[in-house]
Structure formats: C-alpha cells, structure tokens
C-alpha cells in the first residue's frame, strides 16, 4: 500500500507539473518536429498519461486494501513486496498506451497550413472511441472502487462486531485486535476520501465527453471550461486529504527539515527519531493486520 500511495503522489505531481501553461503553436514545421508536436504535445498527452495513471493507481490501491482485509492469509502471496513495482509499471504502461494510441488515431497535421487538427473519422467512430475512453478511464475504475470498498467496509464491521461478541479473550487481546481494526479503518477512511474526491471531480467531465461522442451535447463549450478544471483539481486535492486523514503524514510533514530553522539540528534529530518511531509502530500494526 505504501508504494502505491507514493506512486499516486508522484502521478499527481507529474499532473501538476504538466498543468503549467506553455504557448500553443499556430503552425508547425514540416518533418519530425511537426509530427511530434501534433501527436504528443498538441493534446497534452503527457498530462493525460499522468492523470489516467493516477486513476489506475487509485483503483489498484482499493483492490489491494480489499484483499488485505478480506483475505489476510493470502495477501502476502497475492501482493508480495516485489509485485507492487510491477503493478505500478503496468499502470503507467497501460495509461501511456491508451493515451498515445488515442492521440495517434485522432490527431493529424495539415500539410498546407501546418496546423494540428483532430479527426475521429466520422460520428460513429467518434462515439465508439468516446465510449471506450469512458469505460476504461472512468466507468470500470468507479465500479471496481465502489465494489471493493463496500466489501471492505462490510468486512471491517463484521470483524469489529466479532471482537465485541467474543468475551472469552482477555482484555489485552481484545484491545490489540480493536487497535488493528481501527488502524485499518483509518487507511480505509483515507482511501475513501480520495475515491469520493475522484468521483466528484471527474464525473461531469467524463459524462460530458461520452455524451459529446454520441452528439447529445456539445462538449467544447461552457461544459468544457468548467468540467476540465474541476477534474484537474483531483490531482491537487490528494495531498490535503492525506494531511487531513493521516496523523503520521502530518507529523512527518511538520518534522521535516523544510520547517526547521538553522541552529536547531538537535531538535530536528529528536523530532525525526520520534517520527521514525511512530512510523515504525504504524508499520508494525499494518504487518500484524496482514498476518
């Protein structure tokens, strides 16, 4: 889970960097430069690769959390430590493939004027392409997230209820089991807020894009001006969600060297050691919960 959270933060950072404005070319030169500009830069391919990667990583986080809670004994075999890296790599490859193919298919360069244009090849193909993008980038991730999170929540409630009903165990054992369940709930709450933010910020844009493909509405008008900035807010909101729902994240941020003045090295060292001990206790509880 930690690797996926870091990867999600990296994807959001890449999205934020790609949001920086740059001048659009009125016309492009002949040759490779014009081809690359129209196929890659014109529709901000790098931005959408990082945005879609963020969606896929969030989906993977939800699946991993669900498996770790519903099947704790099988979790280590399904999600070993080295497999997270392959999952992250697969996410970026899938996101890159979707967006690169999309740009290669619909964009072209006018040889006479040098202007970059888009062409879906007809209304039917535009509807098909829009539907595929909607399903891959929004519908399937939302269905997976909601289903996995519902199963996780139901399992957590059952575990907590079973602990309270089991009166044969000692008080210390009950407290430890409750601590594990509460730690899981904190992680569950953080991921839930991230999912709610994603659905809230992306729904209008994705629905409008789908309806535009089927010629129900005109996407490139006022809806575009509102829905796209709203969707991009998702990349900036996740760090605030981490800070609001994860006390360890807040403590690590406050104890970081960015907030220290010169001459307070000893205090920084003490704070860092305290932060490390808190993270160690958190990691221990997470490992215990997965056994």
pLDDT tens digits, 191-221:
788 888 889 889 988 988 888 888 888 777 7
Contact at 8 Å (CB) between 57 and 238?
no
- The three state secondary structure string of 162-203 is HHHHCCCCCHHHHHHHHHHHHHHHHHHHHHHHHHHHHHHHHH
pLDDT at 148 over 80: yes
Phi, psi of 270 (to 5 degrees): -65, -40
pLDDT tens-place string over residues 11-28: 988 888 888 888 888 889
pLDDT at 271 over 50: no
Residue 240 pLDDT class (50, 70, 90 cuts): confident
pLDDT tens-place string over residues 72-131: 877 777 777 777 888 899 999 999 999 999 999 999 999 889 999 999 888 899 899 999
Residue 265 pLDDT class (50, 70, 90 cuts): very low
Report yes or no on whether pTM surpasses 0.85.
no
pLDDT at 281 over 80: no
- Which residues fall within 8 angstroms of residue 231, CB to CB, at 6 or more apart? 51, 201, 202, 204, 205, 206
Whole-number Å distance between alpha carbons of 197 and 46: 22
* 264-to-185, 268, 269, 287 alpha-carbon distances in Å: 36, 6, 9, 34
pLDDT tens-place string over residues 165-189: 665 556 666 677 667 667 677 777 7
- E strands along the chain, which residues? 107-109, 116-118
Contact at 8 Å (CB) between 139 and 147?
no
Question: What local confidence, expressed as pLDDT, does residue 74 receive?
Answer: 79
């Amino acid at each position: 889970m930690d690797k996926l959270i870091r990867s999600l933060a990296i994807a959001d950072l890449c999205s934020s960097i790609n949001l920086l404005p740059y001048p659009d070319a009125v016309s492009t030169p002949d040759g490779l430069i014009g081809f690359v500009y129209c196929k890659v830069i014109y529709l901000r391919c790098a931005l959408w690769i990082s945005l879609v990667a963020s969606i896929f990583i969030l989906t993977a986080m939800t699946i991993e959390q669900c498996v770790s809670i519903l099947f704790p004994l099988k979790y280590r075999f399904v999600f070993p430590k080295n497999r997270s890296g392959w999952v992250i790599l697969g996410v970026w490859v899938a996101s890159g493939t979707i967006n690169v193919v999309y740009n290669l298919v619909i964009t072209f360069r006018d040889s006479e004027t040098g202007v970059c244009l888009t062409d879906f090849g007809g209304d039917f193909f535009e509807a098909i392409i829009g539907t595929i993008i909607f399903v891959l980038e929004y519908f399937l991730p939302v269905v997976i997230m909601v289903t996995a999170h519902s199963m996780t929540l139901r399992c957590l409630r059952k575990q907590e209820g079973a602990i309270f009903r089991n009166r044969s165990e000692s008080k210390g054992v009950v407290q430890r089991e409750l601590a594990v369940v509460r730690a899981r709930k904190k992680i569950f709450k953080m991921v839930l807020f991230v999912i709610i933010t994603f659905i809230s910020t992306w729904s209008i844009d994705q629905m409008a894009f789908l309806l535009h493909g089927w010629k129900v509405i005109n996407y490139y008008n006022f809806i575009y001006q509102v829905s796209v900035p709203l969707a991009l807010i998702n990349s900036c909101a996740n760090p605030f969600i981490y800070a609001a729902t994860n006390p360890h994240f807040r403590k690590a941020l406050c104890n970081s060297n960015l907030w220290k003045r010169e001459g307070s090295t000893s205090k920084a060292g003490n704070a860092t050691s305290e932060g490390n001990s808190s993270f160690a206790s958190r990691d221990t509880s997470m490992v215990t919960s997965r056994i």
